[in-house]
Structure 1
Amino acid sequence: MSGPIEDRVEALPVLPSLDLQETQAFYCSKLGFTATVYEAHDYLILRRDGIELHFWLTDNRSLCENTSVYLRGGGIVDLHREFSARGVERLSELSIRPWNMEEFYVHDPHGNLLRFGRVPGGA
């Protein structure tokens, strides 16, 4: 028997998208998201492991180009390797930044910036 369901507050990014089908295709084929939690004509929820991203439909490109999310934790070295192998365009190098975080960046097709980071030497 499993224990009680954990009741906690979580922060879930809600990013703009110019085309939800294109967003879904990119995040699933290039970034390895495997679960479509919710899909409507104007809203999309995708999940990969412990990451859940929400997307809303907009026709304003500047909203996408000025939006970002920071995804922090272990496993980013493996993610960077995986994304490189999948041929993700607009993938930065993995490096230690001046603020002492090991990071890499990905821009999705509409301009949203995904920043992946961890404390250097982390798992």
Structure 2
Amino acid sequence: MLTSVVPKLPFINKQQTVNFYVNQLGFTLRSDYGDYLIMDKDGVELHFFSFPTIVPAKSDFMIYLRVDSDIESLFEKCRQGSSAVKIITRLESKPWGQKEFAIADPNGTCLTFGEAYS
């Protein structure tokens, strides 16, 4: 029986990745095994593996993160955060009942955040 999904995402520069997820998105670094990291926030766990030759502009890594409230504040925090936060799509309501926006992390991974609306 499946119980959860834990995305594994690449990182080029470990410190940049830790700074981005901890300082910009509020994750906590739980484990650092050198070339493998584990972070979490609000019950969401992400794993990261060293991939120093990945080209961010050609990265095909994408994840969708559900938000249960206040996506507007999260978007504003990302929008007004450091220049490390690259906005891919602005916050908008989608026909499938989600308010969404997307950003790219320093490694080129697309992170889409979505909150249900009625």
TM-score by length of 1: 0.78
Contact kept? 1:102, 1:119, Cα under 8 Å: yes
- Deviation readout 1:36-67 (Å, 9 max, x if unpaired): 11101110011222222110001231487110
Answer 1 or 2: which has greater strand percent.
Answer: 2
Structure 1's unaligned 5+ residue stretches are 1-7
Structure number with larger C-alpha Rg: 1
Question: Equivalents in 2 of 1:83, 1:20: separation in Å?
Answer: 20
Q: Residue 114 of structure 1 is aligned with which of 82, 107, 111?
A: 111
Matched, 1:51 2:51: no
1:112 CA drift (Å): 0.4
Query: Counterparts of 2:73 and 2:43 in 1: how far apart (Å)?
Result: 15
Aligned to 1:73: 67
After superposition, give the CA deviation of every residue in 1:88-109 in whole Å (9 maximum; x if it has no partner). Answer: 5312311023544210001001
Count of residue correspondences = 113
Match of 1:67, as an amino acid?
F
Q: Deviations over 1:69-96 (max 9, x none)?
A: 1111312223212223324531231102
Give the structure-2-normalised TM-score.
Answer: 0.81
> How far apart in 2 are the matches of 1:29 and 1:85?
13
The secondary structure found in structure 2 opposite 1:93 is strand
Which residue of the partner structure matches residue 96 of structure 1?
93
Report the CA distance between 1:18 and its aligned residue. 1.0
- Let me know the Cα RMSD of the aligned residues: 2.2
Identity %: 32
